[in-house]
Amino acid sequence: MKKYIILTFLIFSFSVSAWSVEQQASIVKNMDIYNAIWRELSINYVDTINYDQLNKTAIDRMLQKLDPYTVYIPESEEDDLKMMTTGAYGGIGAMITQQGDFVCISEPYEGMPAQKNDVRAGDLILELNGKSMKGKKTTEVSQLLRGSRGTEIELVLQRPGEKKPIKKHFLREVIQIDPVEYYGMVGDSTGYIALRDFTDKTTVEFRDAMLDLIQNGDMKNLVIDLRNNGGGLVSEAINIAGMFLPKHSLVVNMKGIQPQNNKSYKTTSEPLYPNMPLVVLVNTNSASASEILAGVFQDMDRAVILGERTYGKGLVQTVRRLPHNSYLKVTTSKYYIPSGRCVQAIDYTHRNEDGSIGRIPDSLTTEFTTHNGRKVRDGGGILPDTLLKRRDQVNISYYLFVKNIFFDYATEFVQTHKTIAAPDTFLMTDEAYDEFVKYVLDSKFTYKLESEGMIKQLKNMAKVEGYEQESAEAFEALEAVLRPNVERDLRLFRKDVEALLSSEIIRRYYFQKGVIKYEMRFDTWLHEAVKMVNDESLCRQLLHTK
């Protein structure tokens, strides 16, 4: 024990050697105060204290002052850490949601234990391993559903349309979430690969998808979809970049305070697809490793980036082991892509007086150039070569989704429809949509528009400013237009309503891949990407390629 203490002291002494005397003194002072507070609480506090919970709260609040990516991971959340890096966990393979007093199965994953044992979307979990789940929240039930591979689980389910509860008894398995969400041909010669995230399986799955598309689909060009990909392991993004870039190409530089955090990563082998035309789709939820991959393709003029400005996360985290099987995921460096720019959009070191944090304004960003001399800027994510605008509209479809109307209707729908058309041909008829409209009206569904509250505020302001009488007629007409009318709005916004309803129904028969196939038919961004990747002259023009 004495040797261990001496060794720990030596390691600590070495680790602080780079600190200034003032920093060391400040740390010692604050640790003394922290320890004294714990001592006083343990001796004098009037009630029983949950020390683990209180300590985690103190650490969490402290780390919140730094950035949202530096987090403490206690032993109880170790499985979540493993899932972040591997995409795997032990469980039944199903998504869950709150449904009144119980938790409900919202989507069983295809081929996983829940689906193989006929656990269905819409099933309420009444009991789990003999314990009532009434009043339990999704986080609690999720922890109970998880467990080591091969361990037994018993569920008592209440299935809509069934009078008696159903008992299911089966074994947990390792649930592997595929980083390649979908791949397939989207034209005579165009392949499509949608990456969900970057785990330790991403490179292998991406390479397998490429080979399949080339050998069985005669792929000549490729669309990589990074929309809603929040990142993950940087090494996997580097590996994928290496399939398309020349050997020894710089992919990313990482720079931190400590010398061991300063690293450069280059491609290590000859590219498999050096000349394959590429288009990369991104959106505001593309972050971190996604931005590295899209950014290096842009800086090297290797692919056309299409979509909207990415999230802007240029910070790198390292997982450090702490005592008692806990961990600290700590921001150790910033990353810089080949042009020399960092895409970090938020400066966490300079907060506003109220504690809020703003994005770095464009006026404070710096201009850089790509390999071919195109102008790009730092400090705000990856700005696509061609910007696309999403169709954001908050109408009745949003409120139907939030109140689970689509989910509940689909649960009833499957009880009377054994099969439906395949995702690539499914269309909702007028008769089928009329049935849904009737269902919504019979359910007494109501909703309130945000514009109603804004009109009320505007009326009050008009009254204060003395325009109450003059504006009364105009406000009355506006209120009539914006007053929710469920049947009218179901007809007016049928396109949006039908898209979400169809996706939920298809999910019950063909699972997530079926939903993707259906939604691809109406994905205007994907259609634009396919059109662009097949237009060689336009791509060359955008990339300044000779």
- Does residue 93 sit in helix, strand or coil? coil
Closest CA to 288 of 323, 312, 261: 312
Across the range 256-264, mean pLDDT stands at 91
Residue 479: phi and psi, rounded to 5, are -65, -35
Residue 2, pLDDT > 70, answer no
Number of H helices, E strands in the chain: 18, 21
Query: Quick one: what percent of the chain has pLDDT higher than 90?
Result: 70
- Does residue 223 sit in helix, strand or coil? strand
Residues near 52 by beta carbon (within 8 Å), at least 6 away in sequence: 74
∠65-69-75 over CA atoms, to 5°?
Answer: 100
Instruction: Specify which of 139-153, 209-223, 314-328, 464-478 reaches the highest per-range mean pLDDT.
Output: 209-223
Q: For residue range 68-78, list pLDDT tens digits in order.
A: 999 998 887 87
Across the range 523-544, mean pLDDT stands at 96
DSSP 8-state symbol, 103: E
Q: For residue range 11-60, list pLDDT tens digits in order.
A: 344 444 455 678 888 888 999 998 999 999 999 989 999 988 898 999 99
- Does residue 122 sit in helix, strand or coil? coil
With beta carbons less than 8 A apart as the criterion, state whether 479 and 437 touch. Answer: no
End-to-end CA gap in the chain: 68
pLDDT recorded at residue 206: 98
Closest CA to 258 of 318, 321, 314, 312: 318
Q: Where are the domains of the chain?
A: 22-65, 88-176, 180-390, 396-447+484-528, 450-482
Specify the CATH class of 180-390 in words.
alpha beta
Residue 95, pLDDT > 60, answer yes
CATH architecture of 88-176: Roll (2.30)
Across the range 285-299, mean pLDDT stands at 97
Going by pLDDT thresholds of 50, 70 and 90, the confidence category of residue 358 is low
Residue 171's H or E segment, with its range, is strand 166-171
CA distances from residue 85 to 177, 203, 342, 503 in whole angstroms, order as listed: 11, 13, 24, 29
Question: What average pLDDT does the chain have?
Answer: 90
Task: State both tokens at 302.
Answer: 């290797």
Going by pLDDT thresholds of 50, 70 and 90, the confidence category of residue 10 is very low
Going by pLDDT thresholds of 50, 70 and 90, the confidence category of residue 268 is very high
pLDDT recorded at residue 339: 96
CA distances from residue 354 to 346, 351, 506 in whole angstroms, order as listed: 16, 8, 47
Going by pLDDT thresholds of 50, 70 and 90, the confidence category of residue 1 is very low
Task: State both tokens at 251.
Answer: 């992919």
Length of the chain: 546
**Residues 137, 120: Cα–Cα separation, whole Å:** 19
> Which range is least confidently modeled, 237-241, 263-267, 296-300, 483-487?
483-487
The residue type of 336 is Y
Residue 185's H or E segment, with its range, is strand 180-185
**Residues 143, 109: Cα–Cα separation, whole Å:** 17
The residue type of 404 is N
More confident residue, 113 or 363: 113
pTM of the model: 0.87
pLDDT recorded at residue 504: 97
Q: For residue range 433-482, list pLDDT tens digits in order.
A: 999 999 999 999 998 888 878 888 888 888 888 888 888 888 888 888 77
**Residues 24, 356: Cα–Cα separation, whole Å:** 29
> Which range is least confidently modeled, 278-292, 335-349, 384-398, 467-481?
467-481
Specify the pairing of strand 304-307 against strand 278-282.
Answer: parallel
Residue 352, pLDDT > 90, answer no
With beta carbons less than 8 A apart as the criterion, state whether 300 and 245 touch. Answer: yes
Residue 428: phi and psi, rounded to 5, are -85, 125
> Which range is least confidently modeled, 34-38, 498-502, 537-541?
34-38
Residue 323, pLDDT > 50, answer yes
pLDDT recorded at residue 192: 98
Sign of CA dihedral 357, 359, 360, 361: negative
